[in-house]
Structure 1
Amino acid sequence: MKLDVLCMGEPLLEFNQIPDRGKNTYRSGFGGDTSNTAISVARQGLSSGFLSKVGNDTFGRQFLELWQREGVECSNVEQHAEAPTGIYFVTHDANGHHFTYYRSNSAACLMRSEDVPTKLLAQAKVLHLSAITQAISNSFCDTAFAAIECAQENGVLISYDTNLRLKLWTLELARKVIHRTVPLCDVLLPSLEDATALTGLENPEAITDYYLKLGAKLVVLKQGDQGVRVANGKKVCEISGHAVQTIDATGAGDTFDGAFLSEWLRLGDPFVAAEYANAAAALSTMQYGAVDSIPYRSSVDEFLRRKL
């Protein structure tokens, strides 16, 4: 099967806090950054696949059913007999959204290099992964680098989100692994917050210059409601954010990644793709949940038409 985008990482069942007159009410849903991205790609009308392990449990089966409903190829996702599917909680306050994870020794942590389906990967156009993929276990980190090597050998583009989670590893180790990965990337998708922590730089221009010099071919710097900066060493484009009524920003960056990759593959223009993804991410913040909020192409197109 030939895929547009093959994503690899850890799926996590989500419990998202919903305001209910002061009560702690949580709604279950689905999450995991690269799983969200795979679904985002599918909802934009391109083909995607997901590579991981889940538990042989209710949550793992729910993920398999989700991917099948969404049209995400998941035949290489193994159900582990003993290790569980990870979960996380999202809480909200005046300072934004906050995450609490229960993922220690999850099934995804047990991914190994030999689990990479080289034939499927070789036929994909893009391999997408994130730093979370590398942070959850040493074995998955090794698997990620093995997948990147396989992709490069077969002319598959590498897409990488720095998605920094300092609860998973130290900043020093994160910087070492992430900056080892950056030169291997065809497109780098950091957030401004992550990039500032990793580089010590705060200026968006300095950050994109830094990562281009480090070896990334294309840098797409996500700045939340402030928009996006796109640079490829020859051209730079600043895209303003959209003013929307934000309810929950969980997964907005993942939605962006999938929308960007979809439009980039469809049109071949990263600057137009970033405009499209910027709109998709803004729309995703107007609903609760990492997956429920991912817009379909028709919604993004309509949003952009209204902005003209």
Structure 2
Amino acid sequence: MNTPQILCLGEPLVEFNQTPEGPFAMGFGGDVSNVAISAARHGVQTGLITRVGDDPFGAALCDLWASEGLVTDHAARAQGEETGVYFVTHDASGHHFTYRRKGSAASRLTPQDLPMNALQTCPIFYASGISLAVSSSMQDAVIEAAQRARAGGGIFAFDPNLRVALWPLEVARETTHRCMQICDVALPGLEDARQLTGLHDAKDIASFYHELGPRIVALTLGAEGVLISVEGTQRVLSGHRVDAKDATGAGDCFNGAFLATLLATNDPFSAAEHANMAAALSTTGYGAVTPIPNLSQTRKALEIAQRA
């Protein structure tokens, strides 16, 4: 059995993304799956804790993970159950999501499905607010997995990744704040964090999350870049100007690249610089997965940017 350096828990999804010509192109998504693929493309052995249906969509996801070299020992195929799907539409205000995931195979994941031995030896365990919101049993599994990973000396990385379509804002706020109390690396997006904290200024938000518990806060600012804060030392990295087409999954790309680089360098500021470029590159194509760059592509783009 392969030993992943990063384990991600959540719900993978099949994506149907509206193209400029009008039709929907099939792809793949689900935030934790995106993060896992990003981390793997940036050089780290990464695995998933999840369940998919025994339908064609579940099979397609398994084929994708195999092609990306992910560890799937803990990604179960559930007989008679269905894989969740979602649709992405675009207009002048941005991209919008419509989900068909209720009762999915992943939503039935429980703490009994957790690979306790793998969690105890894994350097990083990752989950998100979506993982918490999908179902109460998955929420219990996230908390149990985070505690088990930390007890084994690993760190818990968490993105609150707010989806008010999945749960009310007040419930999301209370639950994600509680999760932040056992979190080591916080990876919030600015707009989500503004809703969850009631604060507006990025530096105030980073300080707020530090007070809850995380040592590292990487607050993504969309096209404006990222604020990286380590135990109160804050630095803003400007966004890279690219020919952006679709921001779907850019935050997930950032998270995977950040965690992979953090493992490689143990330098949060270097990890943020690397992930900031990776996220920018991921917006230059359509869909959540296909445009995610690999390690060499990100490094080359950084070298070009630094010479400019």
TM-score above 0.5, yes or no: yes
Where do residues 233-252 of structure 1 align in structure 2 (5 Å cutoff)?
Answer: 233-252=231-250
One-letter code aligned to 1:40:
S
Partner of 2:183: 185
Shift of 1:298: 1.1
Q: 5+ unaligned residues in a row in structure 2: which ranges?
A: none
Q: Deviation string for 1:21-63 (max 9, x for gaps)?
A: xxx3010001000000000011011110011000011010111
Q: How many residues align?
A: 305
The secondary structure found in structure 2 opposite 1:121 is: helix
Partner of 1:162: 160
Where do residues 181-220 of structure 1 align in structure 2 (5 Å cutoff)?
Answer: 181-220=179-218
Is contact 2:161–2:189 with CA below 8 Å preserved after alignment? yes
The secondary structure found in structure 2 opposite 1:238 is: strand
Out of 103, 111, 121, the residue aligned to residue 105 of structure 1 is: 103
Shift of 1:234: 4.2
One-letter code aligned to 2:51:
K
Q: Deviation string for 1:184-221 (max 9, x for gaps)?
A: 11100000001000011110111011111111111110
The secondary structure found in structure 1 opposite 2:96 is: strand
Residues 1:61 and 2:59 are matched in the alignment: yes
Residues 1:11 and 2:18 are matched in the alignment: no
How many Å separate the matches in 2 of 1:9 and 1:184? 18
Partner of 2:132: 134
One-letter code aligned to 1:6:
L
Partner of 1:2: 3
Residues 1:223 and 2:224 are matched in the alignment: no
TM-score normalized by structure 1? Answer: 0.98
Partner of 2:286: 288
Q: 5+ unaligned residues in a row in structure 1: which ranges?
A: none
Partner of 1:150: 148
Partner of 2:118: 120
Q: Deviation string for 1:103-137 (max 9, x for gaps)?
A: 00000000010100011112211000001001010
The secondary structure found in structure 1 opposite 2:73 is: coil
Shift of 1:83: 2.1
One-letter code aligned to 1:180:
R
Partner of 2:169: 171
TM-score normalized by structure 2? Answer: 0.98
Q: CA RMSD, aligned part only?
A: 0.8
How many Å separate the matches in 1 of 2:271 and 2:151? 26
Where do residues 39-118 of structure 1 align in structure 2 (5 Å cutoff)?
Answer: 39-118=37-116
How many Å separate the matches in 1 of 2:149 and 2:103? 27
Percent identity over the alignment is 45
Out of 238, 249, 261, the residue aligned to residue 259 of structure 2 is: 261
Shift of 1:262: 0.7
Is contact 2:207–2:232 with CA below 8 Å preserved after alignment? no
The secondary structure found in structure 2 opposite 1:164 is: coil
Is contact 2:121–2:149 with CA below 8 Å preserved after alignment? no
One-letter code aligned to 1:231:
S
How many Å separate the matches in 2 of 1:148 and 1:64? 25
One-letter code aligned to 2:164:
L
Shift of 1:155: 0.9
How many Å separate the matches in 1 of 2:268 and 2:147? 24
How many Å separate the matches in 2 of 1:240 and 1:211? 21
